[in-house]
């Protein structure tokens, strides 16, 4: 499953695996893919440094990358405390009322929220980059548009490729103009932040828009046959995220959440602003329903919503309050029906890819076996 991009990065299979778990990223790289660690949950540089060092030590010398979330435009002089102060009291009360309705206990005295999505804030993301560029990461991906120009330049100075996610051909062309090396065409089916165009339409549009830049297909991909389809549409690889959530190396920290993922069908997700303030595909829960209800106050814009709900999400996860318990995940969740090691998932992907290639060859009247 080699392409020009996979050969450039020195990986066996053009499968890029995004994950918040270092053990999963390391296993993806060991299996011949390219593990990409998500940095958004790291607020302390020392924690990110520790996990990147662990990843490096367990990737068997294989390459890996880091995914950050930072805006293209810098906002000077705005701290996390300044942003917190912008949250209306009515929204804080709505959170309290929703948690009380479902009997969610308070955190223990002195226990701080373990879920603080602040990595999209300029000051936090730049501290993450300081850590990353001190280590041999091979790819820096940004999930919130093109990174600032100085970040792209700094990455290139360190020999690091820069990738950015795009939900439309227009976004992709902007990335190309900003000097991005790889465009991830993330379709509507994907988990997390995503646009409104499905992968089957988006991938060839983006590939045509930015040629000859390499494109990775993302969204709704969870089988080798779908990987083959993405490459046939013009991509040089695929970007998979949701599929790794039910691997044995993942550390969701909640058996109840894992059970919900394993039981969910492809129709059990919703594209909602409840988690971060930007539309993000996630499991549909009583929590997303409450925020999407027209009778409620509605979600705040990013990053206010993420700061507002941080402690609430920690409490929901800590006490495994099933009706409210969810996570970002794509429509491919309908295929995630068993806990399996990353290597087993990889073996299944490569076998499926081979089946798809053989099938097309037979249709085309070729027999190369």
**Across residues 146-154, what is the average pLDDT?**
93
- In three-state secondary structure terms, 126 is helix
Q: Assess contact for 36 and 138: CB atoms under 8 A.
A: no
Residue 194 CB partners (closer than 8 Å, separation 6+): 167, 186, 187, 188, 219, 271, 279, 280, 281, 330
Residue by residue, DSSP assigns 79-97 as -HHHHHTTS-HHHHHHHHH
Helical (H) or strand (E) element with 141: strand 139-142
Question: Which range has the worst mean pLDDT, 51-65, 140-154, 237-251?
Answer: 140-154
pLDDT value at residue 228:
98
Question: What is the value of pTM for the model shown?
Answer: 0.93
Tally the residues of the chain: 369
Judged against a pLDDT cut of 70, whether residue 368 lies above it is answered with: no
Q: What integer is the mean pLDDT of 138-145?
A: 90
56 C-beta neighbours (distance < 10 Å), count: 17
Q: Residue 249 has which token pair? A: 């190396």
Q: Give the tens place of pLDDT for each residue, 82-102.
A: 778 899 999 999 999 999 999
Q: What is the CA radius of gyration of the chain?
A: 20
pLDDT tens-digit map of 263-316 = 999 999 999 999 989 999 999 999 999 999 999 999 999 888 988 998 999 999
Res. 125 pLDDT band, cuts 50 70 90? confident
Cα within 13 Å of Cα(118), Cβ side: 23
pLDDT of 119: 45
For residue 99, report the phi and psi dihedrals to the nearest 5 degrees: -65, -40
- Whether residue 201 has pLDDT greater than 70: yes
Q: Which residues of 188-208 are buried (b: 16+ CB within 10 A; e: fewer)?
A: bbbbbbbbebebbebbbbbbe
């Amino acid at each position: 499953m080699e392409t020009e991009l996979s050969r450039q990065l020195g990986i066996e299979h053009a499968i890029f695996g995004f994950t918040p778990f270092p053990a999963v990223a390391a296993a993806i790289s060991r299996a011949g893919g390219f593990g990409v660690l998500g940095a958004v949950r790291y607020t302390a540089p020392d924690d990110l440094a520790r996990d990147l060092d662990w990843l490096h030590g367990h990737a068997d010398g294989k390459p890996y990358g880091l995914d950050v979330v930072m805006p293209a435009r810098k906002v000077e002089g705005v701290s996390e405390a300044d942003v917190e102060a912008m949250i209306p009291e009515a929204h804080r009360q709505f959170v309290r009322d929703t948690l009380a309705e479902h009997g969610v206990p308070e955190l223990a005295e002195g226990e701080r929220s373990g879920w603080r999505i602040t990595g999209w804030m300029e000051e936090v993301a730049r501290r993450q980059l300081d850590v990353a560029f001190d280590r041999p990461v091979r790819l820096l991906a940004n999930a919130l548009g093109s990174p600032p120009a100085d970040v792209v330049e700094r990455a290139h100075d360190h020999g690091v490729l820069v990738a950015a996610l795009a939900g439309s051909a227009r976004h992709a062309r902007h990335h190309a103009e900003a000097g991005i090396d790889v465009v991830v065409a993330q379709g509507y089916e994907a988990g997390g932040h995503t646009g409104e165009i499905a992968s089957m339409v988006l991938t060839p549009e983006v590939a045509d828009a930015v040629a000859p830049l390499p494109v990775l297909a993302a969204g709704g991909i969870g089988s080798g046959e779908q990987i083959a389809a993405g490459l046939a549409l013009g991509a040089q690889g695929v970007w998979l995220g949701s599929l790794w959530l039910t691997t044995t190396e993942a550390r969701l920290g909640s058996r109840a959440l894992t059970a919900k993922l394993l039981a969910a069908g492809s129709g059990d997700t919703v594209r909602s602003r409840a988690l971060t303030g930007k539309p993000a595909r996630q499991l549909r829960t009583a929590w997303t329903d409450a925020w999407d209800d027209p009778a409620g106050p509605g979600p705040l814009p990013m990053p206010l919503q993420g700061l507002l709900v941080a402690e609430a999400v920690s409490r929901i996860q800590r006490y495994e309050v099933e009706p409210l318990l969810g996570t970002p995940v794509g429509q491919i969740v309908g295929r995630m029906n068993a806990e399996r090691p990353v290597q087993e998932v990889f073996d299944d992907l490569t076998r499926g890819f081979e089946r798809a290639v053989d099938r097309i060859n037979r249709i085309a009247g070729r027999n190369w076996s």
